Amino acid sequence: MAIGAVSLAVAKACAMLLNKPLYLNIALLKHNQEQPMLFMPLLMVSLISCGKSSSGKLNLMKEVICIPHPELTTKQGVEMLMEIRKHINKIIEMPSPPKAETKKGHDGSKRGQQQITGKMSHLGCLTINCDTIEQPLLLIQEICANLGLELGTNLHLAINCAGHELMDYSKGKYEVIMGTYKNAAEMVDLYVDLINKYPSIIALIDPFRKEDSEQWDSIYHALGSRCYIIAGTASKSISKLLEQGNISIPKSNGLIIKHTNQTTMSDLVEITNLIDSKKHITVFGSTEGESSDDSLVDLAVGLGVRFIKLGGLSRGERVTKYNRLLTIEEELVQNGTLDTSSSSCDARIGGQEQETMTLVKV
């Protein structure tokens, strides 16, 4: 249980003795002591949650995640997402429509659009009640339109499907919406339809549980050129991945890696090198039960991962990490060691440049 903590403590002590920031110490470890240009990982910020923990009928979307355009700085991305979050809060706080407008259903109960309500989750974002797959996406789409932002241009979406949480083992099917069940093959069709309807979604995280390897293959071949298929919980542990040297089961474009109790700094360097060599995407994620230690951010920058997933822009343990990310970006700019070319547009992420925004720290 202490391996990961001890390894991180050694890395921190080494950085202090060398009078270097932790992220640079990790980068030197990764690049055999040759000082590289560093780039900032792209943000994956959870805006809302409407999975099984919500009071609505929708189970599919444990996290609706926003990814700012890669040509934006981290400062600009955080500022934009804070504005979107503020508008979500306003909608959540809106009063219910007058009772006179409600209609009665066939059973005599009141029928109509359910008021969107929410509460803060441990993910640092609002958990809201939604009854359809479209509802949370239309909510964000409407807010972006009101702010003069365009989904698919200024920012993109990712969905954490948390497929393992949707499975009803008594029926052998995924419960996408309360009372609505789909088998694994039907889930592939659902995801293809979703991406066709909302092309601004450029990543699906854990669309299936890891046992459904055939469906992972199917969705990869159907959507892999248009959308990142990312294995998080469905992926094996870092130690097993390194032992087997195979990151292609389940079939995916990328993996979410985390610094856990069993993971050393050398393990993280080795696994990111392996993922890079396979032309996969690395997402560095936070673990459940996060502390306020912001070292995770230094690790992500030093390892040169493509994305960083820290949850929402609320709760102290997450806000601390976002502020550390902003501080590192400022240091790299001041030192002239920020590689802006590494954040150039990917084939899945295109569009025009966003004008500069003024930063207000989280």
pLDDT at 343: 46
Report the distance separating Cα 144 and Cα 154, nearest Å.
Answer: 9
Closest CA to 147 of 198, 87, 93: 87
Q: Which of 89, 183, 246, 261 is catalytic?
A: 261
Between helix 3-17 and helix 265-277 the angle, nearest 10°, is 90
pLDDT at 335: 92
pTM for this prediction:
0.88
Beta-ladder partners of 44 = 309
Contact indicator for 78, 322 with CB cutoff of 8 Å? yes
What secondary structure letter does DSSP report for 296?
H
Report the distance separating Cα 285 and Cα 240, nearest Å.
Answer: 18
What is the DSSP secondary-structure string of 174-224? EEEETTEEE-HHHHHHHHHHHHHH-TTEEEEE--S-TT-HHHHHHHHHHHT
pLDDT at 116: 56
Q: Which two tokens stand for residue 33?
A: 């002591």
261 is catalytic: yes
What secondary structure letter does DSSP report for 319?
H
pLDDT at 115: 52
Q: How would you write the pLDDT of the chain (362 residues) with one tens digit per residue?
A: 899 999 999 999 999 999 999 999 999 999 998 888 899 999 999 999 998 888 889 999 999 999 999 999 999 999 999 999 999 988 876 555 554 444 444 334 344 445 555 678 888 898 999 999 999 999 999 999 999 999 999 999 999 999 999 999 999 999 999 999 999 999 999 999 999 999 999 999 999 999 999 999 999 999 999 999 999 998 989 999 999 988 988 999 999 999 988 999 999 999 999 999 999 999 999 987 778 899 999 999 999 999 999 999 988 889 999 999 999 999 999 999 998 874 444 545 544 333 333 334 44
Domains and CATH numbers, the chain: 2-93+116-335 (3.20.20.120)
